[in-house]
Structure 1
Amino acid sequence: MNSSDAGQVNAFFRWKNISDSAEKVEMSLCLVSSSELKTQFKIPKEATADVSLRRLQSFRLKPGEAFHWTFGSAKGEGKADSQGLVTIPALKMRAEPATLTVTQ
């Protein structure tokens, strides 16, 4: 990081597992709101992040296997990396929770 701004890495992201089955995984993602967290730092209204799904219990992909995802009105496709890890690039998150759904 080349920023001189004060702050923390990933400090304002929140997530909650909704479901994790062999067919799909669902997770609620959002930013913390200023009413939930009192801090001296300015809490952003929106943030963009690459999201990798780790420690899944049931949903598994083989390396290179295709997947589909939805997040609010956004949707896309991807392929699991060389270790079967799922990463969705450039998700835009706000304080209002949205559900990320990933399927094979």
Structure 2
Amino acid sequence: MVAAWQAQGRAVHGVSLAWRQADDLAEAGIDRGNVRAFSVFLDAAKAGGIALDRRAVVVVDELGLLGTRQGWSCCGCSRRGASGWRCWATTGSARRSRPGRSST
């Protein structure tokens, strides 16, 4: 998926609860400069430090590990200014096969 989004000219960002898991997203092809821990991503997005427009995709690794408030914060951030960026959430099983790679 990551390669397809990038081929479409989309900016792909990867976020996870902790840096260690976020770093794994770089192995899926997401530019290391676009990989962050969730709290760092959210702070930067709220401050306007990350360009999130309708061409952006944010891959949230292990969405189930985020708290309800964190998840709603991310949703609220995506609605701010009707920027229209997309969110792609993974689960533990998806992370084991690495986002953007076939599990076969």
Larger Rg: 1
Instruction: Choose between structure 1 and 2: higher strand proportion.
Output: 1
Taking structure 1 as the reference length, what is the TM-score of the superposition? 0.24
| TM-score normalized with structure 2 length | 0.24
Structure with bigger helix share is 2
